[in-house]
Amino acid sequence: MSIPVKCEVPAKVFLDRNVRARSVIIEGAVRNQNVQWGAIEEELAITGWRGKPLRDGDLRWIAGEIACLPTVARLATEGVIALFEAHEIGFEAFLSPVGARGTKGDLFARAAISRVPDAVSRLFFRSGTIDRIISRQDVIEFCRFLRKVTPELFEKTPEIWNRIPDTMQANLRELGRFHKLIDALPHDKHWPDALHLWTAETHGAGYFLTMDRKFINALMNSRINLPTKPARPSELLADLGVEHRDPLPAEALKFYDYFEMID
């Protein structure tokens, strides 16, 4: 049964990579098990899955946010919200692979996630090996480049400007918006998330869903206007007026037979 929500439907929700990575709540595991073959007892290694434990350094609140994700995923399948991610976030997957997609442990397995262009494509201005493309430091350096330039500078270089797609030209003319976002952050390590948030804004998203509380707090405590709200999963559900929480399909550290977890 669908749950009524407070905002316009469907609400556009842009996914940060840390949410997508946390949405896969199982990992491969092997368990030794004694098997009786007539009079012979043998120990076999059984392949399956186990619920992921919280990683070292995780705070208690992370578990509560993960517990919200089944509900977020269901709302997406019901069309209450529409999920998006950008190419830059896809590049981050090489550094933090999502894992076992397509199983019951992948909370977004049935949810459609649309891929949209970045506000400004880094690959249009920078080239290199796959190591450079997936480097978070290279994203930071690209943000530093965008912080130094102005729309007028691009327009004065027609051999570059005329090759830029119209949509990206429009975003570059509003480059000052990105400058405001990164200027509101205390450290350049948050600049890639600011780039994602800017992309979400250019696509008219209502929310940028992330589990980075420091990033959220820095922007929410600033005085800049935020047409796309950076929010944790629990905050998104609260804004939608959704109190019910769907259960997680796997328990942390519990072993599941391979066939038990395949839907």
Average pLDDT over residues 229-243: 96
Distance between CA atoms of 217 and 224, rounded to whole angstroms? Answer: 13
**Contact between 105 and 49 (Cβ < 8 Å):** yes
Here the tokens at position 98 are: 């999502």
The candidate with the shortest Cα–Cα distance to 16, out of 102, 84, 95, 111, is 84
Residue 177 burial (C-beta neighbours within 10 Å; 0-12, 13-18, 19+): middle
**Contact between 209 and 16 (Cβ < 8 Å):** yes
- 140 Cβ contact partners less than 8 Å away, ≥ 6 residues apart: 188, 189, 191, 192
**Contact between 175 and 154 (Cβ < 8 Å):** no
Query: Per-residue b/e over 44-69, b at no fewer than 16 CB within 10 Å?
Result: eeeebbbbbeeeeeeeeebeebbbbb
- Average pLDDT, rounded, for the chain: 85
Specify the higher pLDDT residue, 130 or 210.
210
Amino acid at the residue 236 = L
The candidate with the shortest Cα–Cα distance to 90, out of 17, 13, 139, is 17
Distance between CA atoms of 240 and 18, rounded to whole angstroms? Answer: 21
| Residues 52-110 pLDDT 10s | 776 655 567 888 999 999 999 999 999 999 999 998 887 776 665 555 555 667 899 88
- Ranges of each domain in the chain: 11-22+57-243
Specify the higher pLDDT residue, 43 or 99.
43
| Residues 123-175 pLDDT 10s | 888 777 777 777 889 999 999 999 999 888 888 888 888 888 999 999 999 99
- E strand residue ranges, the chain: 11-15, 26-37, 40-51, 81-86, 113-116, 207-209, 229-231, 255-257
Collapsing DSSP states into helix, strand and coil, what is residue 223?
coil
Average pLDDT over residues 215-242: 95
Residue 184: which H helix or E strand, with range? none
Q: In the Cβ-directed half-sphere of 167, how many Cα atoms lie within 13 Å?
A: 9
Least confident residue range of 38-52, 80-94, 217-231, 241-255: 38-52
Distance between CA atoms of 20 and 100, rounded to whole angstroms? Answer: 12
The candidate with the shortest Cα–Cα distance to 230, out of 261, 195, 258, 259, is 195
What is the pLDDT, as a whole number, of residue 4?
A: 47
Collapsing DSSP states into helix, strand and coil, what is residue 141?
helix
